[in-house]
Structure 1
Amino acid sequence: VVAAADILTSFPLPLVSGTKVTISCSHDDSSYPQMLWYQQKEDNHSLTLIGYGYANSAQNYEGQFEKQFELTRVDTLRGALIVRSAKPSDSAVYFCAATHCASGYEAHFGGGTRLTVLEYNVTAPTVKILPPSSKECKNKKKTLVCVASGFYPDHVSVFWQISGENVKDGVATDNNAVRKNESYSITSRLRVSAEDWRSPDRTFTCTVTFFNGTGYEPHSDSVKGALGKSI
């Protein structure tokens, strides 16, 4: 049994058009000499092969990618995908994989690097918590809805806190932000007991972490229990 190679790739990249982008890849198993690169578009669950190659040899490209992309190898364990001049249509998740030379062997993939080539100005989200609906049964679970809207690009994550403590139980967040015109929105829901919601000393906070191109910044909204007053 051959253990899976540990494939490491770069972190998320939001960039302006025309930028030269280098996405690096490394692994820790010299018995995997072949490195492959794949592209996955936002609206497509399948992977498209960009190219592949070995150290100390010419890299091989799928025809439509050779002009826009360049594959490089430092050695057996390290390589890179270079986007010569990034444009919005290059926005995608890029995956590096490593495998044995012979066909029939499983390829081992890294987690992927998300590249966003910006079409518009970076805009932070507006975050708002909507308290439970009066239509929910009085003694049943209550649902708080957190709506983050008006942000660009869509590099966000959402988490909830109750009185300063992180919570995961009862949380359901959209898998992906939804784009409308020049911005995105995302929704997250928190289900709590009626007892928790009726406690005026409880504070419910939704925080959206937004990547602004240089770092991560938090944007939050909070409501108190019982009357759901904003604070």
Structure 2
Amino acid sequence: MKLFTTVLSLAVLTACSVTEQPIPEFTAVPDSNLQQMQGTRFDRFVIDPQADFSQYDKVIFFPTQFDKLTIDEGADNQLTNSWNASTWDEMDKICQFFDDFAQLTFAQKSGLEPTNQGGENVMAIEFRLMNFMPYQRRYQDANRDTVALRGQRNGLGSITFQAVVANSKTGELLAVIEDGMELNPGNMLIVKGDPNLQVDSASRMAQNVAWRKTFKRIANRLHEDLIRLKQS
């Protein structure tokens, strides 16, 4: 009886550890030879239908680019002036958050190993920050006397981005991703649920957490979708 129980337990554990992602479906993109993947949590994830994603078992990430990043035209002038004053080093540190999470996420998950060397079996991915709608000034310019109460702020802002996926050796385009996400530090605004212990949402810590949480979500969703394509 004990042996049967052990074998049964091992079988259950093995079955639980093998989780196949649902096979993606696609729709045609008008006036293009690309196809839109369905079921993705990105607004737009289009692929070359001729690409064979099953051949890839490694991925190389190029540094996140911000040279085309613009402040949204609808932003308040004070907010626009604040973020336009950002230095190259400040923005590079923000982009480094995503670069770090991309490496960490793919290293911790199976199926696509991060690497620094290209090859036929290596996907190259580059993210580009495209548009930023700020809801508050960067922490360097923030009013230190203003304490954010829960629900009184919408977060740091919203960011739109684009990612290009290609064969790292041939440069063949495999996919393009486009989406926008809110930047919000979330539940950290109130420490241990005590409204008297509030974290200033315009502080350096809160703003960095907002960027980091968003980039972490993007990295996780990217891995999930690429594994679906690899298994299809």
Q: Which one has more relative contact order, counting CA pairs under 8 Å at least 6 apart?
A: 2
TM-score with structure 1 setting the length:
0.24
Larger Rg computed on CA atoms? 1
* Higher helix residue share: 2
- TM-score normalised according to structure 2 size: 0.24
